Amino acid sequence: MSFGGLRAVDGCTFDVAAGSITGLIGPNGAGKTTLFSIIAGFLKPTAGRVLLDGQDVTGQPSHRLFHRGLVRTFQIPHEFNGLTSLENLMTVPAGQDGERLFKAWFAPAAVAAREAEVMAEADETLAFLGLDPVRNELAGNLSGGQKKLLELGRAMMSGASVVLLDEPGAGINPTLLGQLAEMIQRLNRERGITFCIIEHNMDMIARLCDPVIVMAAGSVLTSGAMADIRKDPRVLEAYLGTAAAGDAA
């Protein structure tokens, strides 16, 4: 992926095994977020391929990938702050306004039945995440950690089978971080959801992820179990190298 003269992601190849919780780490500017944008269909790569279940999905728009079960979670959009936790979850499966309007006219009973079904699923999701106490609270009033859990809930409601998380631990307190890690583990174990997680909190990566892929300067530096990565001098060097460059700048 080139931005003008800059190759943000360059010759970067790796697999995320189905059913894994794969970690993606590396110093700032390594190209991790850009790579997620490419995989999730928000950026078209200059060259290269993305395969999902062995099928080439390179350049497919995010909404199409969403329907194929690949989602990248984001912060709850601003306009959703005025909706309750429950409503935030209930808006996920909708997405087909034309069809909904049509059905509302011609099949109101079917629409009501579907809505009850979606509400039941949303309530189940809130219970799973321990968010039932804030079911009717506006999303804008939730704590940072609760918002992260709600984001995870939106991914669950989408029926995703592959979830990309970009720094889920950023800005949340240790208690909620532990809770978030536990939810990710349970979703992986109980529902078979595959995760790829970018995270700077190495404790969280060590606790959750196997394998861990290390990116530096746009490509894969190394990958493997966190215990081995930790001992790899090249990894330390990559982090120190950019820290030194940052100091000099």
Binding site for ligand ADP (CB under 6 A): 3, 6, 8, 26, 28-34
Nearer residue to ligand ADP within complex by CB, 36 or 128: 36
The position carrying tokens 């189905």 is 18
Nearer residue to Mg ion within complex by CB, 33 or 84: 33
DSSP per-residue letters across 22-41: EEEE-STTSSHHHHHHHHTT
* Least distance in angstroms from the C-beta of 30 to ligand ADP: 4
In Å, what is the CA distance from 120 to each residue of 98, 126, 139, 193?
23, 10, 19, 21
Residue ranges in 147-186 that form contacts with Mg ion under rule CB under 5 A: none
Task: Report the candidate in 202, 242, 235, 234 with the shortest Cα–Cα distance to residue 23.
Answer: 202
Nearer residue to ligand ADP within complex by CB, 88 or 201: 201
* Least distance in angstroms from the C-beta of 92 to ligand ADP: 26
Which option in Mg ion, ligand ADP, none does residue 193 bind, with CB closer than 5 to 8 A by kind? none
Which option in Mg ion, ligand ADP, none does residue 240 bind, with CB closer than 5 to 8 A by kind? none
Nearer residue to ligand ADP within complex by CB, 91 or 219: 219
Bridge partners for 215 per DSSP: 220
Q: By CB neighbour count within 10 A (0-12 exposed, 13-18 middle, 19+ buried), where does 23 fall?
A: buried
Terminus-to-terminus CA distance in the chain, angstroms?
24
Please give the Cα distance from 219 to 24 (Å, whole number). 11
* Least distance in angstroms from the C-beta of 180 to ligand ADP: 20
* Least distance in angstroms from the C-beta of 166 to Mg ion: 6
φ and ψ at residue 44, rounded to 5 degrees: -90, 125
Q: Is 194 in the site for Mg ion (CB under 5 A)?
A: no
Pairing of strands 6-7, 2-3: antiparallel
Q: Is 33 in the site for Mg ion (CB under 5 A)?
A: yes
Which option in ligand ADP, Mg ion, none does residue 3 bind, with CB closer than 5 to 8 A by kind? ligand ADP
* Least distance in angstroms from the C-beta of 220 to ligand ADP: 12
* Least distance in angstroms from the C-beta of 24 to ligand ADP: 9
Q: Which residues bind Mg ion (CB under 5 A)?
A: 33
